[in-house]
Amino acid sequence: MTGEQFRSLGYELIDFIADYHDTVADRPVQSLCEPGDVAAQLAAGPPEHGDGLTSLIDDLSTVIVPGLTHWQSPTFHAYYPANASGPSILGELLSAGLGVNGMNWATSPAVTEVETRVMDWLVDLCGLDDGFRSTSDGGGVILDSASSALLTAVVAARFRAVGHRPAAELCAYTTAQAHSSVLKGMRVAGFADDQLRIVDHDPVFAMQPEALAAAMSADADAGLVPFFVTATVGTTSSCAIDPVPVIAEISKKHDAWLHVDAAFAGSAAVAPELRFVNAGLDQADSYCFNPHKWLLTNFDCTAFYVRSQQALTSSMRIVPEFLKNAASESGQVIDYRDWQVPLGRRFRALKLWMVIRWYGAEGLRTYIRHHVELGRGFDAWIVEHPSFELVAPTNLSVVCFAHVDGNERTKHILEQINEDRAHHLTHTALDGRYTIRVAIGSVRTEQVHIEALQADLAALA
Ligand SMILES: Cc1ncc(COP(=O)(O)O)c(C=O)c1O
């Protein structure tokens, strides 16, 4: 592809993306495709000769877009959001365009130094404690996902507990409300499933600290080693918030590593009045949240902080001859390859840098407050409606509710809502109760979209 060809197709694609965003609200939010529909429209084998991407825009419009669920639609309230704002999309493009691999400082100093600066900016923006700044013993890194952050934290915690060896005596703790990535991370790190203890939660789906204390003490008394606790701030099902300050005290007694997963909720901390989400973080060994969920930054971008850079890097660092270089050996630079599982790393920090510069602290606060306000309004509507009731308290902008007639009726309503493709909602089960979740946090969601959802729910109630 020549520079001229790149320019011409590139301009066309930027127009295509801009048009897509301008019209996404008018599309059925969930794809109408049946299994195999998209594949049936693709050539069975690769072309022998390049086709020059002729008719690409047509193919995108007729084959690809109809096969999408429109996560950027203002009526997408399923799962948790996946924010893609203009500046972040351009940052992503720039990252691909520059095409560098920032595995070590020396392989592209700007990749490391922008990332370090942006992670420190997030400490300021979210009001995190100074122990997560790059200038302290700790610091932050951008990973691909909260799941990777969890795995990385487990590996660091195991190393701190027993070094690099299999560890049948180690026990980890979380609740059934924690994300499945906790169990997955433990499995990937080589632990047996029963090394993860499931601690009871309370009626609002938060960890019961007494149950944690009892489980850890029982294990310690039995000669086992409690080594890792995952607390969740904003659980996936109901956005419940574990009591991190007291969990931190209990963890400390056993010298267990405390990881706090605030994948969705952490972004709320850009608004000072919502910093209850930070409670106890100053006692955590590691912490992560996903700007790619709720901070206007497109997937993938997980902010992962550790209290001790050394605890993390000593668990991860392997220095083969081909990676040795003077800068690393000087001890003056950060090599983020030692903060993650993969070696290679792309320039993810660019998109966060562009998002923060574009919106500023004020723009980010306004954005989060807007969704929280919409969530409160929707919560009040559910409370007032005679046929619906809340199944969990509304934290931030996540509303969990059910029909008063029970699970079958609730399930039917959800199916009807999604059938029409005007809104996209998903469900969960909360202590056996079939629950509809409305997670408000898409870039274009406004009051009018919530009112339309209320009208459709009321018609089905
Ligand atoms: C609380 C929580 N933790 C972890 C995850 C996993 O996120 P990721 O896709 O970044 O691994 C999610 C996803 O929704 C989540 O809600």
| Ligand 1 and 181: CB distance under 6 A | yes
Task: Say if residue 335 is preceded by a cis peptide, omega within 30 of 0.
Answer: no
Q: Which atom of ligand 1 is nearest to the CA of 79?
A: 14
| Ligand 1 and 410: CB distance under 6 A | no
pLDDT of residue 165: 85
CA distance 141 to 138: 10
CA distance 149 to 155: 10
CA distance 236 to 251: 23
Cα angle: 217, vertex 221, 227; to 5 degrees: 60
pLDDT of residue 122: 98
CB-based contacts of 405, cutoff 8 Å, min separation 6: 387
Pairing of strands 302-306, 388-390: unpaired
SS3 for 53? coil
In 10 A of CB 259, how many CB atoms?
29
| Ligand 1 and 264: CB distance under 6 A | yes
| Ligand 1 and 428: CB distance under 6 A | no
CA distance 366 to 20: 25
Q: Tell me the two tokens of residue 354.
A: 């562009």
Q: Which atom of ligand 1 is nearest to the CA of 178?
A: 1
- Could you give the residue ranges of the DSSP H alpha helices within 163-270? 181-188, 209-221, 244-253
HSE value, Cβ hemisphere, 13 Å, CA-based, for 397: 28
Element (H, E) at 229: strand 225-232
In 10 A of CB 455, how many CB atoms?
9
The dihedral of CA 293, 296, 302, 308: what is its sign? negative
Q: Which atom of ligand 1 is nearest to the CA of 235?
A: 1
Nearest alpha carbon to residue 89 among 63, 101, 71, 65: 71
Element (H, E) at 154: helix 146-162
What residue's CA is closest to ligand 1, atom 9? 145
Nearest alpha carbon to residue 343 among 22, 39, 37, 104: 104
CB-based contacts of 228, cutoff 8 Å, min separation 6: 153, 154, 157, 158, 170, 172, 173, 256, 257, 259
| Ligand 1 and 261: CB distance under 6 A | yes
Per-residue pLDDT of the chain (461 residues; tens, 9 = 90+): 999 999 999 999 999 999 999 999 999 999 989 999 999 999 999 999 998 998 999 999 999 999 999 999 999 999 999 999 999 999 999 999 999 999 999 999 999 999 999 999 999 999 999 999 999 999 999 999 999 999 999 999 999 999 998 789 999 999 999 999 999 999 999 999 999 999 999 999 999 999 999 999 999 999 999 999 999 999 999 999 999 999 999 999 999 999 999 999 999 999 999 999 999 999 999 999 999 999 999 999 999 999 999 999 999 999 999 999 999 999 999 999 999 999 999 999 999 999 999 999 999 999 999 999 999 999 999 999 999 999 999 999 999 999 999 999 999 999 999 998 899 999 999 989 999 999 999 999 999 999 999 999 999 99
Is residue 172 within 8 Å of residue 181, measured between CB atoms? Answer: no
CA distance 183 to 165: 19
DSSP per-residue codes, 395-435: BTTEEEEEETT-HHHHHHHHHHHHHTTSSB-EEEEETTEEE
CA-CA distances (angstroms) from residue 328 to 111, 152, 317? Answer: 15, 21, 12
Domains, in order of start, for the chain = 3-82 (1.20.1340.10), 93-354 (3.40.640.10), 361-460 (3.90.1150.10)
Site to probe by mutation for ligand 1, drawn from 77, 80, 295 as the one with most ligand atoms within 8 Å of Cβ, is 80
CB-based contacts of 332, cutoff 8 Å, min separation 6: none
Amino acid code (one letter) for 162? V
SS3 for 373? helix
| Ligand 1 and 263: CB distance under 6 A | yes
CB-based contacts of 290, cutoff 8 Å, min separation 6: 145, 146, 263, 264, 266, 267, 301, 302, 303
Q: Which atom of ligand 1 is nearest to the CA of 234?
A: 1
Would you report the helix, strand and coil content of the chain in percent, each value rounded to 5?
Answer: 50, 15, 35
Sheet containing 286-289: order of strands = 139-143, 302-306, 286-289, 257-261, 225-232, 170-175, 196-199
Is residue 142 within 8 Å of residue 115, measured between CB atoms? Answer: yes
CA distance 208 to 246: 10
